[in-house]
Chain A
Amino acid sequence: MKWMLNLSLVLSVLIAASCNKGGADKIVIGNFGSLTGTEATFGVSTRDGIILAMEELNKNGGVLGKQVELKAYDNQGKPEEARLSVEKLINVDNVVAVLGEVASTRSLAGAPVAQQNKVPMISPSSTNPMVTQKGDYIFRVCFIDPFQGEVIAKFAYNTLGLRKAAIFRDSKSDYSMGLSKFFENKFVSLGGTIVGDEKYAAGDSDFKAQLTNLKSKQPEFMYVPGYYTEVGLIARQARELGVKIPLMGGDGWDSTVLKEIGGEAVEGNYFSNHYTVEDPRPEVQNFIKNYKARFGTVPDSLAALSYDSAQVLFDSIKRAGSVEGPKLRDAIAATKNFPGVTGVITLNENRDAVKSAVVLQVVDGKFKFKETINP
């Protein structure tokens, strides 16, 4: 019966361990991410962004007169561990809010736990629309994919003064179809016209038939919200056909491979993105300086988004004057015009961020900052 003794020992340790309580002089926030595993860089950047925001806050006296402490747990990139980490953060560490995750799958695994326990959760960078539909305690500070379509519509109409657009979309991808739909709605409502609309399927390599068709409609620019592989080829073939108008797209273009495939043809084209290190706004430049001083690397967009998620949380705690779940939830939901690194953040009724995006231009194979577009 030795095993029974062992079992009872283990259980008593578990019970004893579960009875500890966090100190009341600190506000504990939680973060779960893949700090090890194949997506470790995402998790580490995200955690570092939060650490930076927290240290800056603590240096200035904390929030509600208390210092903030971060509990960051690794989930090895596994959904089931993500759920366990959130259970531990909420029920053992008594965190007031959870920040995470990067990947939508792991946010979806963790969100129900936060919702059941009425602890607010802010995802810095999960773009799948389903994440915040899990409940009224789940928020995000990044824009959902389709919003980028509106950004380019505004940029083309207002900044470049273009009126006639053609759309060339990927019929196989939700992302491309969503962006195209929102682009079309916005551009038409601004007063522009869509003169041509053609489709391709990811994996195609010959686009000349559709491009010739679109060329004959004489658009002033072409919207190609696809991924960099096809976009590179499309740009190349468009230039070969003598199409001189600019091409535009979304963050699916954001890869150095775009230049390798498209070569000279992608020069001068525009796409929308979350954030760029070239943005001259003081929030961005200060963040980059401080991040470099603390961690020694240039922050990527995941670090910027997690920094923003932490800032939004601290701001909400301040406004709520309390760390109780329901009050904090209401305060986060009321976030309006918050000046973050990745843009001015307002949360809408779906708890998704409505915020500014940046438009970048390809110049000499690099992505140059062009303009910030507000919603």
Chain B
Amino acid sequence: MKFNKTILIILLFVVAALALNFVMGGFAFDMSLLMYAKPTRWQGLISPYYYAVLVILGINIVLSVSLALLNGFTGLFTMGHAGFMAIGAYTSASIVTFMLPTAPFFVQMIVGSLCAGTIAALIGFLIGVSSLRLNGDYLGMVTLGFSEIIRIMLLNIDAVGGARGMTDIPQYTNLGSVLLLAVIVILFIKRIRDGRLGRAMLAIKENEMAANMMGINPLAIKVKAFVISSFIAGVAGSFFAHSEGYLSTQTFTFVKSFEVIAMNVIGGLGSLSGAILGAGILTVLPEALRKVQDITGIDLRMIIYALTMILIMILRPQGLMGNREWKWLSSK
């Protein structure tokens, strides 16, 4: 009956996401507003600024959760998530802009994000296979290098704007679709974690040799982790491209990769809830701190932001959630 329950939960979240978007997007019984159009100025309950922050939050949760599968569960320390995101973002933006400019939004969305995910997964597969012999910091270095190579390549392709950036990308991502994506991804990763594959991943993380002795093929599991994680990161990149409407390679530097890693670490490596919580904190905090500027007069945002991160790490070195999970995400 577990499968039925999952479907029920997904449906529940779909309804919740639609309802939330309905309330925030201006109480319109308009299908386009529900699933793809962005509210313009003050149509809804909240201003477009907070709306935009919530959309970014959703995308960051997806990124963070997908990295948790690699860094948290399988114990592969990778620093190249921005690269996968970049591939997804540019793939989807190119396909939608050059090949499907007039297609209905749901065709654009589905084709765009699936292609984005597939290409990212393909690259993830290649990186996974080619760096399987590496562990720990070395793997981190290789993935960091790969993500920079991807970025420099994109920087030199004139068709996608090069250094100037890619403009006029259709903006169909909205809160409804992003929340839906986030919920699907969270539940998907949860099921992987609680299933056979997830157990194997955890075993590899704890002791690769022992896992091998127990009949697990570490290479296959690691490649699977790479492929799934990069697929989701690619989809997140696609949603990002169509929420921003503008892409520049400046977004996808290693700083972005470290941000996603920081979300995982602050929340607690190895905890799905932690990845979500970390994404929430690191997305909302810098924006919330803009208010502080009104009181202090000078911009202390980055100082407070950094201090908060340091304090969390000193007071809770295992991350905010540690190894624990919220009830709805715990494995029984």
Contact residues of A with B, CB < 8 Å? 3, 10, 14-15, 17-18, 35-36, 72-74, 76-80, 83-84, 87-88, 90-92, 104-106, 108-109, 112, 116-117, 128, 130, 134
Identify the closest chain A residue to B240 (Cβ).
A80
From the candidates A17, A79, A91, A130, name the one contacting B251 in the complex (CB within 8 A): A79
From the candidates B45, B49, B293, name the one contacting A87 in the complex (CB within 8 A): B49
Tell whether A83 pairs with B165 under 8 Å between CB atoms, given A76-B302, A109-B246.
no
B302 and A36 contacting across the interface, CB-CB below 8 Å: yes
- Residues from chain B with Cβ under 8 Å of A14 in the complex: 46, 50
- Residues from chain A with Cβ under 8 Å of B244 in the complex: 79-80, 83, 109
A74 and B50 contacting across the interface, CB-CB below 8 Å: no
Interface membership of B53, Cβ < 8 A: yes
- Residues from chain B with Cβ under 8 Å of A91 in the complex: 41-42, 47-49
B245 and A84 contacting across the interface, CB-CB below 8 Å: no
The 22 listed contacts between A and B (C-beta, < 8 Å) are A3-B326, A18-B46, A72-B299, A73-B293, A76-B302, A78-B251, A79-B244, A79-B246, A79-B250, A80-B251, A83-B246, A87-B48, A91-B42, A91-B49, A92-B50, A105-B163, A105-B250, A108-B246, A108-B248, A109-B246, A109-B248, A117-B40
Number of A-B contacts (CB under 8 A): 89
From the candidates B50, B255, B290, B299, name the one contacting A18 in the complex (CB within 8 A): B50
Identify the closest chain A residue to B246 (Cβ).
A109
A105 and B328 contacting across the interface, CB-CB below 8 Å: no
- Residues from chain A with Cβ under 8 Å of B290 in the complex: 73, 88
Interface membership of B191, Cβ < 8 A: no
Most A CB atoms within 10 A — which of B248, B255, B328?
Answer: B248
From the candidates B164, B245, B284, name the one contacting A105 in the complex (CB within 8 A): B164
Tell me the interface secondary structure of chain A in the complex: helix
How far is it, in angstroms, between the C-alpha of A112 and the C-alpha of B52 when the chains are bound?
A: 14
Count of B interface residues, CB-CB < 8 Å: 35
Interface membership of B287, Cβ < 8 A: yes
| Per-residue A-contact encoding for B25-52, CB less than 8 Å = 1, 0 else | 0000000000000001110011111101
- Residues from chain B with Cβ under 8 Å of A92 in the complex: 47, 49-50
From the candidates A15, A74, A88, A105, name the one contacting B45 in the complex (CB within 8 A): A15
Q: Which of B273-332 contact A (CB under 8 A)?
A: 284, 287, 290-291, 293, 299, 301-302, 326, 328
Q: Which of B221-260 contact A (CB under 8 A)?
A: 240, 244-248, 250-251, 255
Tell whether A108 pairs with B164 under 8 Å between CB atoms, given A87-B48, A91-B41, A91-B49.
yes
From the candidates A80, A104, A117, name the one contacting B164 in the complex (CB within 8 A): A104
A84 and B40 contacting across the interface, CB-CB below 8 Å: no
Q: How far in angstroms is the closest Cβ of chain A from B271? A: 14
Identify the closest chain A residue to B259 (Cβ).
A78
- Residues from chain B with Cβ under 8 Å of A87 in the complex: 47-49, 52
From the candidates A74, A77, A134, name the one contacting B167 in the complex (CB within 8 A): A134
| Per-residue A-contact encoding for B137-171, CB less than 8 Å = 1, 0 else | 00000000000000000000000000111010000
How far is it, in angstroms, between the C-alpha of A80 and the C-alpha of B299 when the chains are bound?
A: 19
A117 and B41 contacting across the interface, CB-CB below 8 Å: yes
- Residues from chain A with Cβ under 8 Å of B293 in the complex: 73
How far is it, in angstroms, between the C-alpha of A117 and the C-alpha of B45 when the chains are bound?
A: 17
- Residues from chain A with Cβ under 8 Å of B76 in the complex: none
Interface membership of B56, Cβ < 8 A: yes
B165 and A79 contacting across the interface, CB-CB below 8 Å: yes
- Residues from chain B with Cβ under 8 Å of A104 in the complex: 164
Q: How far in angstroms is the closest Cβ of chain A from B298? A: 10
Q: Rank and list the top 9 A-B pairs by shortest CB-CB distance, nearest first.
A: A91-B47, A87-B49, A105-B248, A91-B49, A88-B49, A79-B248, A18-B47, A109-B246, A105-B165
- Residues from chain A with Cβ under 8 Å of B302 in the complex: 36, 74, 76
How far is it, in angstroms, between the C-alpha of A78 and the C-alpha of B240 when the chains are bound?
A: 14
From the candidates A15, A74, A112, name the one contacting B246 in the complex (CB within 8 A): A112
Q: How far in angstroms is the closest Cβ of chain A from B100? A: 20
B52 and A83 contacting across the interface, CB-CB below 8 Å: yes
Q: How far in angstroms is the closest Cβ of chain A from B320? A: 13
Q: How far in angstroms is the closest Cβ of chain A from B328? A: 7
B299 and A77 contacting across the interface, CB-CB below 8 Å: no
- Residues from chain B with Cβ under 8 Å of A17 in the complex: 50, 291
How far is it, in angstroms, between the C-alpha of A91 and the C-alpha of B39 when the chains are bound?
A: 12
- Residues from chain A with Cβ under 8 Å of B250 in the complex: 77-79, 105
B167 and A108 contacting across the interface, CB-CB below 8 Å: yes
Most B CB atoms within 10 A — which of A76, A91, A106?
Answer: A91
B167 and A35 contacting across the interface, CB-CB below 8 Å: no
Tell whether A112 pairs with B53 under 8 Å between CB atoms, given A35-B299, A74-B301.
no
Q: How far in angstroms is the closest Cβ of chain B from A295? A: 14
Identify the closest chain A residue to B163 (Cβ).
A105
Q: How far in angstroms is the closest Cβ of chain A from B27? A: 14
Identify the closest chain B residue to A73 (Cβ).
B290
Q: How far in angstroms is the closest Cβ of chain A from B129? A: 32
A130 and B41 contacting across the interface, CB-CB below 8 Å: no
Q: How far in angstroms is the closest Cβ of chain B from A270? A: 29
